[in-house]
Chains A and B, each alone.
Chain A
Amino acid sequence: MLELLKNLASWLTSGPQWSGNAGIAHRLVEHLEYSLLATLVAAAIALPIGMLIGHTGRGAFVAVNLASFGRALPTVGLVTLVFLAGGLSKWPVYISLVALAVPVIITNTYAGMAAVDPDIKDAAKGVGLRGHQVLWQVELPLALPLIMTGIRLATVQVIATATIAAYVSFGGLGRYVYDGLAQRDLVQVLGGAALVAVLAVAADLALGGVQRLLLRGRPASAR
């Protein structure tokens, strides 16, 4: 075990390991590129849908079951399927990652808006706010903590799963995991996994910082 950790440390800290097209720095950027793009696209799709369901109260059944469906969908199967259907491109990677992230964000956005006290919404209408004003000025700010939870959860899942890109011959940190698996090189697998985990934790902390910034000045109970 100690031997393994020593090898891992030297794998992670050797200079040549970090440079070049197969180097850690490049793989890290690739991994971030897949993850960020997928999460952004997923948020662009999921936020409006979650907001619409939460605001109108229609389709809640769909929102709740979609989450379950999303969790059940095997990513490896989806990526293989899109790969066989569409050939060698990055589509399988992006489609699978977006499909992974969308349900989480929709469910949390919906849950956040559904949890807004109906009395507050009535009060907002009572003082003369229109439907869209209630949405933007009352519901959305109050739902923000749960919405951010959904986005953070989706981001962590996407970063951990973006290793799948290497499965269909692309880059990212998954390269070390799958190459290590093929070469029975445990140190490489461990190094790749550690980097992915660090990246996911870092992204979660960064988004946590954004969340604190957005919610600054609120009482602790409204965060």
Chain B
Amino acid sequence: MPTLLLEIGVEEMPALDIPCLAQELHATTSKVFTQEALSYRQIDVYYTPRRLAVLVRDLKTQQEERVRSIKGPPTAVAFDSEGCATQAGIGFAQSQGVTVRELGQVKYGAKIYTSVKRSIPGKETSEVLLAILPRIIMDLHPKKTMRWDSSGLSFIRPLRWLVCLYDDKLIPIELGYLRAGRKTYGHRFLKQEEVVLDGATSYVQTLADSLVVVDPGERQTMVLDALREQADRLGADYLVDNELLSRIVNGTEHPTPIFGSISEEFLSLPTEIVHATLREEGKFVPFSLADGTSPCFMGFRDGMPDKEGIVRAGYERVVQARLGDSRFFFDRDRQSTLAEKVRDLHNMVYDARLGSLWEKVERIRALAGAIADHTGDGLGQEVDRAAFLCKADLVTELVQAFPELQGIAGGLYARLDDESNDVAEAISEHYFPISSEASLPKSRVGTIVALADKLDTVIAAVLVGEQPTGSRDPYGIRRQANGLIRLAIEGKVDLDFFELLESLEETYLVMERNGAISDVRRFISGRVAHLLRQKYGIGPDVVACVAAVTGGNFYHIFLRARAVTTWHESKDFHSLIAAFSRVCNITKNSAETDFNPSLFKSEAEKALWREYLKVEGSLTSLLEEGNYEQGIKLLLSLRDPINCYFEDVLVMAEEVSLRQNRLGFLGALARLFYHIGDLSKLITTSDSRQTNPASTQEKR
């Protein structure tokens, strides 16, 4: 069966936007073709900076027959109460060329209408294509569009040619001032740039012959292979992230590696600066050698190998000049110390409502100080110094030129200013983790400053009413909160952050608004639950169980969740849950009241009381240590006494005082379990068996 090719020729599209646009082209094509009853086997989309192409393989030459129902007057109008056709009914039937008897019925909303089913014979595919293909192109939604002529079209970049072939047949679609032909363009810098295609199926090969690799996957392989080979040769690593890779792969039609080296005069410049300079604007991939220096890089020419070394010389000249710039920034920054730069933060606005960066630094210091006090690592001085200096690099020329060096530049300058190692490292790490997978600070001081920075960002945003809603998150505080929680959990920070907040009211007094602190708690607790599920793989029921008891000690919440997960599958635990549920059910409507153990009568009651005292005594210290697994084990010893208790004791005794006393005791027992969470939220395997339809059938 024949294949359709549509190639959209565009002036160079922004590399990072192309994959998304191509994906949309794929989705739109498949949707429209299905709507139009055009059957095909497969859609493939290809792209380079200068073209988007879609190949629809084994596309049937004839559109499928479709049935359309034509709506007439409501049945109640078309027929009278005796079922005879009215004038309206007859008229509609006549207009459709059918008899009254052939009228069908169709429901629209609440009403029933008469209808006529019409089969629409399939048209020739090529005729349908003429109408739908321009629409598919105009339905694409690039992030940013432009106008280029008076046709009224807008697109990501000017559209310059169209090729539309159905096997070897030309489909002359029209769009703006363009009309599709057979002529495409090979690589821009070939002598014979124009290429005439004789058929759709030879598209990929014909362009390959003209030095255009239309398959982005193939271009990526070319790039990565070249990098790997060079890295192996050097015994080095290449430093490429997804963005840089995408810029190279989608910014070229035929990527060819060009290897270059860096003049020795720049080897004294810190490695981080050299790498940032190379990566700037997504042009060059640095290689990092084991000894920290990186005297070489790789760029990718769009075209053929550079036999005369002309391109290489050009690349090296650019790198040389850029590094010269970086050194200029570096030297200017070094004219004052980082500590001296701190006062310039007065002039940098953090947010109109939240004051200057100086004020933010003051808040970070207060928070970091409080955290350091609680965690008691004896690092108070280093923490305060690092917090004081952590934002100073934002006024440096280096960070203004390379924003991604924030933190790292500060760490560099701190070291050169002879700040202590702890302080310098903490500054460079305090933005960590920069993503949900990225690494955390290695140092304790860095962890504390990072916690304070993120906590402040979250609190400050919430206080001015900028909680995220839907996709709107102007301060990116979801990510900040995620970072905060990861730092606490993975850094094993045993501290209740919500209690800390209470003690810091003064710091946020200026920005206080009613209820804001509870908004902060709610927001962060929501993120904790989210991360437990998404990042730490805790089951949703376990998360619901531990989240029923809110708190600001994220590390302990995590430990609880993990302990519950460990016990979750054990049979003993299931029976404990059952016992707990009985306790809860019976006490859930009564208020917390005192009770008097001397009123306990039966042996079961007294036995439970003894066990309770034993468990309560050791439970608190176990939980404070974070040993929730042992804690649960300890609670297990209550199971049998509870079960005996319910067999022997009538809790709802006639006598009011006796009843109150028993409820009071059971309430205390339930609260013991709440140190772990609300166990009734857990779904045990025995629960799921009950809801299993197969087992219901057995009962029948």
A binds B: no
* B interface list, Cβ under 8 A from A: none
